Structure 1
Amino acid sequence: MEEYTWPARRPDVPGLSPDEVWAATIAALPVGASVAGEVIGRQPFGVFIRIDGLPGAMGLAEIIAMPEGTGLPVLGARIRGEVLDHVGHNRQVRVRLHEAGTALGQSPL
């Protein structure tokens, strides 16, 4: 497995258009909301997250929003964090990871 990977295409949500999925994501995850999910992609700038309970939602935790001194969580790691922002042009939820112990299995930066 390569160290850095892109996430697979987001799953379609039956009966909803991409616009409806994005609107539901924003409504369910306001800024400051707690989120949990699984790391599904890694890049040098951060990790992509499949957010629990929202099959069409994609989260992104950038390195600058990770606790100081932690490494990038590995693929498959379970994480917890807080919603920082919504990025409409690529329909991503920006996430700040919580302090140490957020992710099981981390690699050094």
Structure 2
Amino acid sequence: MRQPFGVFIRVDGLPGAVVLAQIAAMPYGMELPAVGACREGEVLWHDHNEHQVRVRLDEWKPPAE
């Protein structure tokens, strides 16, 4: 699901998790992933008790130096 503040992501094997890729981490000029697209990313933060996870999609990572 796409929202103005980010993209909610479904994670295989974790049906109750709320996973958000915040658009603040998205480089300028990139587009949000299409609904239903498969993506990989890095977990930046999680709350085990509330089953909440914040990720940065791999395609949004800054270039390696």
TM-score by shorter chain over 0.5: yes
- Cα deviation code 1:4-38 (max 9, x no counterpart): xxxxxxxxxxxxxxxxxxxxxxxxxxxxxxxxxxx
Distance change (3 Å), C-alpha of 1:44 and 1:54: same
Could you tell me which runs of 5 or more consecutive residues in structure 1 were left unpaired when the two chains were aligned: 1-40, 101-109
Q: Tell me which residue corresponds to 1:94.
A: 54
- Cα deviation code 1:48-104 (max 9, x no counterpart): 00112212212100101224432111211111100000247864200001127xxxx
Distance in 2 of aligned mates of 1:91 and 1:64: 21
- 1:31-50 to 2 correspondences below 5 Å: 41-50=1-10
- Quick check: 1:71 aligned with 2:42? no
Sequence identity, in percent?
Answer: 63
- State the Cα RMSD in Å: 2.2
Report the structure number with the largest CA radius of gyration. Answer: 1
